[in-house]
Structure 1
Amino acid sequence: LHRIPTPNSIAVLFNATRSEIYVTHRNARQISIIDASNYQVKHTIDTSGMPNSLVLTPDASTLYVSVKQDEKTNKDDYVLKIDLNQF
């Protein structure tokens, strides 16, 4: 096992095609893209809400993330579409 220093995590998804791990950090309002071969954080994506669940397209090139809003903000939840080819 290997520990990866990231904020408190909610969801984890492995992308075998790209050898990457995606992790949502709800309270930190971030998504981490981690290199699965060396366990280093490659990118951190900031969100305006609290990222929750993850889904990968069959071709492994697009990541969808459900993003919840704080109940106090009166904003709608949304889905974030991330083109993984930009990273």
Structure 2
Amino acid sequence: MRHYSQNVSVSDLQLTGNETVHIDWDGGLSPGQVVTLMIRGSSIKQRIFSVIVRIDNGRELKYFLSGGVLNYVTSHNVDRLNRYKI
């Protein structure tokens, strides 16, 4: 989710690592979705801008919702094995 939809670079944000980041979205998730990112910190004023979710297709979305590729593959293989269990 580090793809900025506006002309903002990482250096423009002047981040120190002590900021609080809040992602505001409706709870649904889809490839290429735009969400609002709010960054608050002691060294910077609050910044609010739109970012594009870097989930580019349905398969990546499945991986993300499963907690990652390894979790997805493991769960998928366990499900397949359970179908053939005697």
Provide the TM-score with structure 2 as the length reference. 0.29
Report which of the two has the higher share of helix: 2
Relative contact order (C-alpha < 8 Å, sep 6+): which is higher?
Answer: 2
Provide the TM-score with structure 1 as the length reference. 0.29
